Amino acid sequence: MDLATLGEKDIAANLESYIKCFSKDAREIFEHFKFVEFIGQLIDADLLYKIVQKVRQTDLSPQAISNHDMGLVFEELIRRFAESSNETAGEHFTPRDIVRLTTALVLMEDDDALTKEGIVRTIDDPTAGTGGFLSSSMEYVFELNPQAAIKGYGQEVNNIKLGNTL
């Protein structure tokens, strides 16, 4: 099931079933924001179908939304999550502008080498978190040299769980 196949009838039940297919970690986010209750509010306001259709029609692909812009969306979600948990957003992410500045400062000494033909680089972030520094580093190199061959690796240990290699 995906948003395009939720249908017009039983959309709330279908949407809840759709959400149940996400990973445990993703479902925890929906639970934290009391999404099922929000679905009920949307039904009461006769807006659920309209909103699902609007989201379904929105192109969120990497071709439509840059990594930077998606990072800004993610930051906003983290900020709202932090506010609702009485925490500061900075405990959960580094703002994209800081990531970009830091990346540029770390890599700028290699600008000449990175523009050469046949350049191959491996970028490793052993504390990847959301992957912002890793993806920003890769973008930086590609801006200097679109033909560069880059391998990116990252992992994160959070709550004693190993993250995925990027």
pLDDT tens for each residue of 63-113: 998 877 887 787 777 777 766 666 655 566 677 788 889 999 999 999 999
What six digits make up the tokens of 164?
């995925």
Q: What pLDDT sits at residue 103?
A: 92
- Looking at the structure, tell me whether residues 154 and 164 fall in a common domain: yes
Q: Say whether both 47 and 113 belong to one domain.
A: no
Q: Which helix (H) or strand (E) holds 77?
A: helix 67-84
The confidence band for 163, taking pLDDT boundaries of 50, 70 and 90, is very low
Same domain, 67 and 37: no
How far is residue 92's CA from residue 115's CA, in Å, rounded to a whole number? Answer: 34
Residues 116 and 143 in one domain: yes
Q: What pLDDT, on a 0 to 100 scale, did the predictor assign at position 84?
A: 66
Per-residue confidence band for 161, with pLDDT thresholds at 50, 70 and 90? very low
- Assessment of whether the complete model's pTM goes beyond 0.75: no
Q: Are residues 165 and 112 in the same domain?
A: yes
Pair 152, 99 in one domain: yes
Exposure letters 22-59 (e unless 16+ CB within 10 A, then b)? eeeeeeeebeeeeeeeebeebeeeeebbeebeeeeeee
> In this structure, are 128 and 87 located in the same domain?
no
Q: How confident is the model at residue 55 (pLDDT cuts 50, 70, 90)?
A: confident
Does residue 148 or residue 162 have the better pLDDT? 148
d(CA 102, CA 46): 46
Q: Quick check: 150 and 141 in contact, CB under 8 A?
A: yes
Which residue segment(s) compose the domain that 146 sits in? 95-166
Q: How far apart are CA 121 and CA 99, in angstroms?
A: 19
Q: Give the lowest-confidence range in 21-25, 32-36, 97-101, 125-129.
A: 125-129
Q: How confident is the model at residue 142 (pLDDT cuts 50, 70, 90)?
A: very high
User: Structural domain tally of the chain?
Assistant: 3
* Distant-in-sequence, close-in-space partners of 25: CB < 8 Å, separation ≥ 6: none
